[in-house]
Amino acid sequence: MRKLNLSEWAALGEVIGTAAVFISLLFVVFSINQNTNALHGSTENVLFERHADLANLLISDASMAEILVKKRSGNTPLTEVEAVRWEKYELNLLDIWVVAYTRHARELLSDDQWKAWDGYFTELFSSNGQKISRKRWDELKYGFDPDFWRHVDDVLFR
């Protein structure tokens, strides 16, 4: 067996070093993908938790459920207090929608999850007693990002 000279050892070292760098880069890519998945999961949890809090409000507070029933029937006007409570509830729902929108825009929410949340809110705000009127949206939209305005305008009022 022949002994390697210094330049051959150096070439072998370069090959081993290149392989080590390549393996390290694969590990970094894997870690970034894992981190992205964790961020998506975290964002999904935030959205579910905020939405669950609002749903629990309707479950635990009969007066909020009564307001929703009145809104859905369309026949019974809300008292001033009920109207204020409803407006805050409605704003909270819009806030959850905008969180989903902005996190998706920052690639912190997967496309599939965004489509599900967007479809849910589009349906929610375009039907039943929770339908948001153009007039009401025009009053509220200035509290949101202009890109979100355009999105809501497109999906609810096109």
Q: Does 34 have pLDDT greater than 70?
A: no
Q: pLDDT for 82-103, tens place per residue?
A: 999 999 999 999 999 999 999 8
Distance CA 75, CA 143 (A): 30
Q: Has residue 156 got a pLDDT over 90?
A: yes
pLDDT tier, 130 (very low <50, low <70, confident <90, very high otherwise): confident
Give the residue extent of every domain in the chain. 37-157
pTM: 0.72
pLDDT for res 43: 66
Give me 139's structure tokens. 């009053």
Residue range 53-79, pLDDT digits in tens: 888 888 898 999 999 889 888 888 999
